Structure 1
Amino acid sequence: MISKLVGLVPRDWLVYMYKHMPFNGLKNWLVYRAQNKFLVAVLGIFTNEAGQILLLKHVYRKEPWGIPGGWMELEKPELALERELKEETGLSVKSIELVKAIYGTKPNRVDLIFRGRVIEGDFKKSSEISEIMYCTMDDWPDGLPMEQRKLIKEFGSVAP
């Protein structure tokens, strides 16, 4: 509602009001309320020592196999991905580099794609992940979405 009202105010006026408004807390509250919202997802292409790609079997998806990922909380993106993987599988990973950001819809979101290495740990089943597998390029299991195959091909073979 506030974002629609703010949209009616000329931008020059908004800048002037923001610059001269004395209450930072109120100013920040208004700016936050006036902006559109979206989620941030973190996804990772992780390899083991042999260079194989880690895939997870998600219990709630129509195409169950996929790269690790999850929603960010109020944390650094790399730490969010490392946390998600530890919670869902028991594996420890190290996110090495951000390789791509993608805007998506349904829901509106930004997907941050990282690559990195599996460091250690033994797989533990969770309510979200029923099994894991390591595979080589193009040796995919049935049920791996085409979009993720493309991401793996683009960034998986040159993982640091």
Structure 2
Amino acid sequence: MFAKWINRIPRDWLVWMYRHMPLNRFKNWAVRRSQHHFLVAVLGVFTNEKGEVLLLRHSYREQEPWGIPGGWMELEQPEHGLKREIREETGLEVHIDRLEKAIQRSDPNCVDLIFSGEVRAGTFVASSEITDIMYCRAGDWPKGLPRSQQLIIQGILDRRLLRAQTAKEMEKI
């Protein structure tokens, strides 16, 4: 509500008011309240040595409990946030190869940064958020894996295969 009211004021007036307003704490509060806010989620498509995809069973999802690993970023680099989330929720250690995709969502207002990589070490330990894990082959999805995540996983695996084929062809040249 405050943001809508502030955004109706001409920008030149806002700059003038900000420059001449004596209370720094109030100015900073007003700026934060009037700006658009969004969250950043970090997610990952991780495979094991057999090429199977790691999926997690989330305790707080009833209809679609299975999903790829991820969580909300804190004040950290995205890769560190994703590794931290996976370690905290499962006890597993992963290696991140690359950022594959960024998706903007509006409910909640956030950006999903989707990475790919490999599970490297660790033994699964259940947490309050994650009750189980599984590894599965592409297309052999468990009941309860959202269709949107199936498509994301398949797209990343297809691009990975294409990169490998291209690299082999380049070696022949």
| TM exceeding 0.5 | yes
In structure 2, relative to structure 1, the CA distance for the partners of 1:156 and 1:15 (3 Å cut) is farther
Match of 2:119 in 1: 118
Q: Find the residue that maps to 2:97 and give its secondary structure.
A: strand
User: Aligned partner of 2:103: which letter?
Assistant: I
Query: How far apart in 1 are the matches of 2:5 and 2:152?
Result: 40
Q: Is contact 1:115-1:156 (8 Å) kept?
A: no
Q: Is contact 1:53-1:156 (8 Å) kept?
A: no
Output the TM-score relative to the length of structure 1: 0.85
The Cα shift of 1:34 comes to 1.3
Match of 2:167 in 1: none
Q: Please state if 1:152 is matched with 2:150.
A: no
Match of 2:166 in 1: none
Q: Find the residue that maps to 1:132 and give its secondary structure.
A: strand
Q: CA RMSD in A?
A: 2.4
Q: Find the residue that maps to 1:156 and give its secondary structure.
A: helix
Q: Please state if 1:47 is matched with 2:47.
A: yes
Q: Deviations over 1:98-138 (max 9, x none)?
A: 11111223322211111111111011111111111111111
Query: How far apart in 2 are the matches of 1:30 and 1:96?
Result: 40
The Cα shift of 1:33 comes to 2.3
Match of 2:171 in 1: none
Query: How far apart in 1 are the matches of 2:71 and 2:86?
Result: 8
In structure 2, relative to structure 1, the CA distance for the partners of 1:142 and 1:6 (3 Å cut) is same
Gaps in structure 1 of 5+ consecutive residues: none
Query: How far apart in 2 are the matches of 1:36 and 1:68?
Result: 27
The Cα shift of 1:39 comes to 1.8
In structure 2, relative to structure 1, the CA distance for the partners of 1:137 and 1:38 (3 Å cut) is same
The Cα shift of 1:5 comes to 3.0
In structure 2, relative to structure 1, the CA distance for the partners of 1:97 and 1:28 (3 Å cut) is farther
Query: How far apart in 2 are the matches of 1:140 and 1:21?
Result: 59
With a CA cutoff of 8 Å and minimum separation of 6, indicate the structure with the bigger relative contact order: 1
The Cα shift of 1:22 comes to 9.4
Query: How far apart in 1 are the matches of 2:76 and 2:89?
Result: 17
Gaps in structure 2 of 5+ consecutive residues: 164-173
Match of 2:10 in 1: 10
Q: Please state if 1:34 is matched with 2:37.
A: no
Q: Find the residue that maps to 1:43 and give its secondary structure.
A: strand
Q: Is contact 1:89-1:125 (8 Å) kept?
A: yes
User: Aligned partner of 2:10: which letter?
Assistant: P
Output the TM-score relative to the length of structure 2: 0.79
Q: Deviations over 1:65-88 (max 9, x none)?
A: 110011111111111111110011
